[in-house]
């Protein structure tokens, strides 16, 4: 799992209590979005910030001479069925940034789906990713036709996602020049991480486990597939939502990167058994060797004495990154309630996942630790209830100050 989808799988729209729809702000603003280059000249649409992802089909309707329009219903269905945990974040985000982040997610999920389709030969997947990277950069690198890849998808949503890749790419033309540059940068970085991952684990399998070599490789990987998303998110929200706010921008970007890296590291630690079965070990070989461990026997009961201290060290690192994410969340202007909630939920659920992982032995890790639906509801409701009271709000991540001091 890479890129935007680094939040616990427990956090999804299906986990809302009946009738619960986050809507912390009732104010409405309007903006005009023109059509793409292929659209009818002069047509503009009035969009309301509070329509969330049930907005009028006019938002995502693109007319191009070479493809069918991509309607709002199609886009929203794709986001709801493929975004899973990230869909909640999209629902709560302000309208000024929702379209850009939603589109970046769809395209990143498209590349992720291609990279993960193991039944397709490696060379073909790499070629498809290279084609998409070129198109992200604006190069007319040939038609985007992934119907052959789509036929191998078990998920109907991912099948449609690949079939509509060309139409999704056309939506880039709706973005401003500044937003387009940010979206391009994050997608190219994510794609580079996916390509590196495919090459690194080429030929790996249950009987032949490959591991990252060094801590630097792990840091590079978590930046490429998640840290860069924090950087993108920060720059986009800064430009559209609080451009005049007085804050340390360099520190905010750095914390945004750590935020993303922390979420990805939580996923790596949670998914360790499944990755090992697929021949992938994201814990660096040099650290394993120093602890007297090897990827092939990492989770053996007899190695628990060596494995658990190493594993808990990585949990400490992930928690420190999430503490930076909590600092990031609280650095954002208090008036940006939607963005702060969208950041707080993955931080708090990631921290809860870490708590569960700390209490698991190698055998329990095989069952894949998850935050329960009840716990998700509790995090959502407590965050909403405590938001007007900063002291209570900050206590939701009580160890943040201590962890940041240690980091």
pLDDT at 89: 86
Residue showing tokens 């930046």? 223
Statement: residue 136 has pLDDT above 80: yes
Statement: residue 361 has pLDDT above 50: yes
Q: What's the rounded Cα separation, in Å, for the pair 226 and 86?
A: 13
Helix (H) or strand (E) holding 33: strand 30-34
Statement: residue 321 has pLDDT above 70: yes
β-strand partners of 281: 211
Taking residues 37-65, what's their average pLDDT?
34
- Higher per-residue pLDDT: 179 or 47: 179
- Higher per-residue pLDDT: 80 or 220: 220
3-class SS of residue 210? strand
pLDDT at 141: 60
270-279: pLDDT as tens digits:
999 999 999 9
Taking residues 20-32, what's their average pLDDT?
38
* Fold exhibited by the domain 201-407: Farnesyl Diphosphate Synthase (1.10.600)
pLDDT at 51: 36
- Higher per-residue pLDDT: 120 or 211: 211
Statement: residue 114 has pLDDT above 50: yes
pLDDT at 70: 64
pLDDT above 90: percentage of residues in the chain: 59
Q: What's the rounded Cα separation, in Å, for the pair 214 and 288?
A: 10
Q: What's the rounded Cα separation, in Å, for the pair 239 and 181?
A: 13
Taking residues 155-169, what's their average pLDDT?
85
Token pair, residue 22, equals 């986050």
pLDDT above 70: percentage of residues in the chain: 79
Neighbours of 66 (CB within 10 A): 9
Neighbours of 25 (CB within 10 A): 15
- Higher per-residue pLDDT: 88 or 321: 321
Helix (H) or strand (E) holding 32: strand 30-34
Least confident of 21-30, 171-180, 321-330: 21-30
pLDDT level of residue 295 (50, 70, 90 thresholds): very high
pLDDT at 201: 95
Q: Is 343 left (phi over 0), alpha (psi -120 to 50) or beta?
A: alpha
Give span(s): CATH 1.10.600.10, the chain.
Answer: 201-407
343-358: pLDDT as tens digits:
999 999 999 999 999 9
């Amino acid at each position: 799992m890479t890129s935007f989808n680094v939040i616990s799988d427990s956090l999804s729209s299906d986990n809302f209590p009946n009738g619960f729809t986050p809507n912390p702000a009732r104010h409405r603003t309007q903006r005009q979005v023109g059509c793409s280059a292929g659209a009818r000249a002069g047509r503009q649409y009035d969009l309301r910030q509070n329509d969330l992802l049930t907005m009028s089909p006019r938002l995502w309707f693109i007319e191009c001479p070479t493809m069918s329009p991509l309607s709002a219903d199609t886009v929203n269905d794709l986001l709801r069925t493929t975004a899973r945990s990230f869909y909640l974040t999209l629902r709560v985000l302000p309208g000024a940034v929702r379209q850009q982040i939603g589109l970046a997610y769809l395209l990143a999920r498209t590349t992720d789906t291609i990279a993960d389709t193991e039944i397709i030969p490696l060379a073909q997947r790499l070629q498809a990713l290279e084609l998409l990277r070129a198109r992200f950069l604006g190069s007319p690198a040939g038609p985007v036709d992934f119907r052959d890849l789509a036929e191998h998808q078990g998920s109907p949503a991912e099948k449609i996602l690949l079939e509509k890749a060309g139409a999704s790419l056309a939506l880039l033309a709706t973005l401003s020049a500044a937003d387009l540059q940010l979206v391009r940068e994050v997608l190219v970085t994510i794609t580079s991480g996916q390509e590196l991952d495919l090459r690194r684990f080429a030929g790996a399998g249950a009987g032949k486990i490959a591991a990252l070599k060094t801590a630097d490789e792990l840091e590079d990987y978590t930046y490429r597939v998640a840290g860069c998303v924090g950087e993108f998110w920060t720059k986009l929200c800064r430009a559209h939502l609080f451009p005049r706010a007085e804050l340390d921008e360099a520190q905010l970007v750095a914390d945004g990167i750590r935020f993303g890296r922390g979420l990805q590291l939580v996923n790596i630690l949670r998914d360790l058994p499944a990755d090992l079965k697929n021949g992938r070990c994201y814990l660096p070989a040099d650290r394993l060797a120093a602890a007297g461990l090897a990827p092939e026997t990492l989770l053996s009961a007899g190695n628990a004495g060596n494995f658990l201290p190493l594993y808990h060290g990585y949990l400490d690192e992930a928690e420190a990154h999430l503490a930076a994410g909590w600092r990031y969340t609280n650095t954002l202007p208090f008036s940006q309630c939607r963005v702060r909630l969208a950041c707080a939920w993955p931080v708090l659920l990631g921290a809860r996942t870490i708590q569960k992982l700390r209490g698991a032995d190698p055998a329990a890790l095989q069952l894949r630790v998850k935050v329960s639906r009840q716990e998700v509801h509790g995090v959502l409701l407590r965050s909403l209830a405590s938001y007007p009271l900063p002291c209570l709000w900050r206590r939701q991540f009580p160890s943040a100050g201590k962890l940041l001091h240690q980091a």
